[in-house]
Each structure stands twice: as structure tokens, then as C-alpha cells.
Amino acid sequence: MSIELPLLRLGLAGFSAEQQGQLSTLLQQVSSGSWHLARFADADAWWVNGARVQVLLDKTIRIASGEPGGRSLHLDLPDVDRPIAFSLPLAPRNFEPLYTFDARSESSVSAILERFEAWMRPLIAQFCLASRILEQESVLGPGIHHVSADGALIGVVNMQGETGVLPTASPVDFENAMWEHVHSSAGAIPEHFVRSSLAQLMWQFAVRTSCDILPTRYRTGLLYFRRPPRLSPRLMNDSHLLLLRELACAPGDFESLQQRTGLGGPALARGLAALYFVGAITADARRAAPARGRSADSVLTHQQSVLPSGMDPDSAANLPRKLQASADLTAPMPLVQR
């Protein structure tokens, strides 16, 4: 199995509809489908029309809308937490951003995407690690595993907790990596590794893969709300919350969930797969959370494993533990602040 690369999201600001269409076509040609346009707020990186930029006080910029009657956007550059590139020509004088590109040049666009991908190497490494976890889930079992390439440690996976990955590891490193079950005393994650919970690692894989990874049984039988996702709320979008609300109210199969949510088949499958891989939903009625009509506190004390129900064998390590959170299920569950 060759390593899949993650889908990367690019947000646009200040471009007209015609320009966005041209950039979308160019993006597909240059990136071979690894980059795709997304909502500006959800994107991993941004392209901004440099001709529509105005520099304000305190390193804030204003980006005029590329659409007639559209709203302008304000960005505080020191607070931007993702790579941002400005198309030439630049309107402001003495404005020298780190990244610029010529939107009419295929080589310039390709070069800026390469820089973006270098900036995002840790995320790509995490995606590749998650891909290998999924491939080997049937043989991994509980405990801590070391992942090595050519004798060098590139990943640490605790199937009951945290993961770590070497941020400079390449997709090729993971393709032929060796997995070794280690004792807990040898399972410390090196300081220079990028850490994340197993739930967050598998979530990022599920929302970025182009493959259909929803198990077959989740397309045929009833699905149930199992527990709140152990994730930061900012990682979930409206469709995930909608699915959680519907299943917390009543179980449903794939077809009925399409009708209840209005989501198309591919979008529904992607949403359910992400929730499955963080153990928030289940196709096993025995693992379902108590019905909404029962005590809300009983929902909070239900299973808190970070694994999907299919990857989560019953063990003493996975016994229910009470979650310190409000019993308000408006969301429809307490969201974890991380």
C-alpha cells in the first residue's frame, strides 16, 4: 500500500469570481489534486490578492472584496497562524510580505505551494502515521508502539493516549517503516516530536483523506451516539455537530440520516467516518450512550475511549471514567476545551 498524501485546504481573499475560477483550475493542474479551495476560515494556507490590500496601523491589513458589494476582510498579520502569500502586483508601497507569487505563472504558483507544503511537513507526517495505524489496526493491539525507518525513530503511538511524530519525516519514511511493541518505560515521546492525542491524529486523517474509509456496516445498520469527541471544538464543522445532534436524539441508518440532515451521500460518509475514528458514534447498540431521555450525567460518564468502537477491545484501561463537564447537551454534548 502506497502512502496517500493529505488533502490540503487553500483559502482565497480579494479575488473576483472569475479569478477564483482561474486559480482553481491552475491549482488542480499544478498540485495534482492535493490542494483544493476551501472556506477562508477553514483553510491551511491563504492566497490574498495583493492589488486589493491596504496597510492599516499596527500591522493590520484590509483586503477589499473581489466581488461587487462584498465585505472587506481585516487581518492582524502578527496573529496569522498559517502561511499567507500575496499575488503580484502589490498595491501598498513598502509592503514586503514573506511570500509573494505571480498568479499568471504556473512555475510561480508551483513554487509557492512547495513552500507551503514545507511549512506543513509536520501535519503531512501526522497524516502518514495515521494512515499506517489504520492499515495495521488489526495487528497493533493495545499498548505503546515505536515506528522506525532505517533504524531511526520517526513515530510513537500509544493506543490508549498520546502520539508523537518526527516533524521532518517524509511519506517515504512511513512506507517501509517497522513497528515494534515496546514496554511503557521505553515509550516516552522525544521532546522534538510533534505531539497529539490519538483521537486528534485519526480525526485529521479522516477529514483529509480522499478515500472512502467509512466501514461497510456503517452504511447498512443503525448508528448510535456513543460519547463526546475528545477534540477541540474548533476542529469540528457544522455537519459534524449536526450529525452528533441527530444521533444523540435518536439512532438512524445511513439513508435516514441523509433525510434528517440534508447531507449528500459523500458528505455524510466523510462526516460519519471522522466521528467513527474518534469513537463518537458506534454501530453496536451495546456501546451506545444512554437515550437522551435518561439522565444527562449518565451520558457524561459513558465510555471515554479515544478509539473507534471497532478498535477498542474491552479492558480495564477502557473502563468508563467521569468527565468533568456540564450536563448541558445543547451542542448536543459537552465539548472538550483543548
CATH of the domain at 22: 3.40.50
Q: Is residue 288 part of a domain?
A: yes
Task: Tell me the C-alpha distance between 154 and 167, whole Å.
Answer: 8
Low-confidence ranges of the chain (pLDDT < 70): 1-3, 292-338
Tell me: do 227 and 309 sit in the same domain.
yes
Tell me: do 14 and 109 sit in the same domain.
yes
Is residue 224 within 8 Å of residue 251, measured between CB atoms? yes
Tell me: do 161 and 109 sit in the same domain.
no
- What is the pTM assigned to this prediction? 0.81
Strand-pairing partners, residue 180, are 146
Task: Tell me the C-alpha distance between 158 and 163, whole Å.
Answer: 6
Give the pLDDT score at 148. Answer: 96
Tell me: do 102 and 157 sit in the same domain.
no
The total of structural domains in the chain comes to 3
Tell me: do 32 and 113 sit in the same domain.
yes
Q: Is residue 336 part of a domain?
A: no
Q: Is residue 324 part of a domain?
A: no
Q: Is residue 188 part of a domain?
A: yes
Q: Is residue 300 part of a domain?
A: yes
Q: What residue numbers bound the domain in which 170 lies?
A: 122-204
Grid coordinates 510561480 are at which residue?
108
Tell me: do 270 and 299 sit in the same domain.
yes
Is residue 125 within 8 Å of residue 166, measured between CB atoms? yes
Tell me: do 261 and 242 sit in the same domain.
yes
Tell me: do 232 and 287 sit in the same domain.
yes
Considering 188, 204, 220, which residue would you say is the last residue of a domain? 204
Considering 91, 119, 147, which residue would you say is the last residue of a domain? 119
Tell me: do 299 and 311 sit in the same domain.
yes
Task: Tell me the C-alpha distance between 186 and 166, whole Å.
Answer: 17
Q: Distance of CA 51 to CAs 27, 56, 225, 249, Å?
A: 20, 15, 49, 50
Tell me: do 51 and 99 sit in the same domain.
yes
Give the pLDDT score at 307. Answer: 58
Q: Is residue 176 part of a domain?
A: yes
Tell me: do 306 and 231 sit in the same domain.
yes
Task: Tell me the C-alpha distance between 301 and 34, whole Å.
Answer: 40
Tell me: do 126 and 163 sit in the same domain.
yes
Q: Is residue 326 part of a domain?
A: no
**What are the tens digits of pLDDT across the range 267-321?**
999 999 999 999 999 999 999 998 754 444 444 344 444 556 555 543 333 433 3
Is residue 327 within 8 Å of residue 296, measured between CB atoms? yes
Give the pLDDT score at 331. Answer: 52
Residue type at 327 in one-letter notation: A
Q: Is residue 132 part of a domain?
A: yes
Give the pLDDT score at 311. Answer: 56
